[in-house]
Amino acid sequence: MTTTIARQPQGIPVGGQFAPVAHSEPSLSLDALMSRDQALDLSTLVPGQPRTIGRDVHGIGGIDMITLTDKGPLRQLAMPLFIEPSAAARMAPEKRLLEMRYTLPAEANIRELYEFDDWSYRRARQAAQSGLEEAAGLEPKPWPTPASHLPDTTAQVDEDGNISFTTYETFAAGEAIDPDDFDSWASEYPGYTDPGVRRRLATFIQDSYHS
Nearest to 33 by CA among 48, 49, 53, 50: 53
Tell me the average pLDDT across 164-182.
Answer: 94
Instruction: Give the confidence band of 52 by pLDDT, cuts at 50, 70, 90.
Output: very high
Helix (H, G, I), strand (E, B) or coil at 176: strand
Note the pLDDT of residue 208.
94
pLDDT digits (tens, 9 = 90+) for 28-40: 444 558 999 999 9
Tell me the average pLDDT across 173-190.
Answer: 94
* Residues written for the chain: 211
Note the pLDDT of residue 145.
60
Select the more confidently predicted residue: 92 or 154: 154
- Residue 203 is classified by DSSP as H
Note the pLDDT of residue 24.
44
Measure the CA–CA gap between 187 and 38, rounded to whole angstroms: 21
What is the distance, to the nearest Å, from the Cα of residue 79 to the centroid of all Cα atoms in its chain?
33
Tell me the average pLDDT across 25-52.
Answer: 81
Note the pLDDT of residue 54.
97
pLDDT digits (tens, 9 = 90+) for 69-123: 999 998 655 545 555 555 554 545 678 999 999 999 999 999 999 998 777 888 9
User: Residue 197: which residues within 8 A CB-CB, separation 6 or more?
Assistant: 135, 191
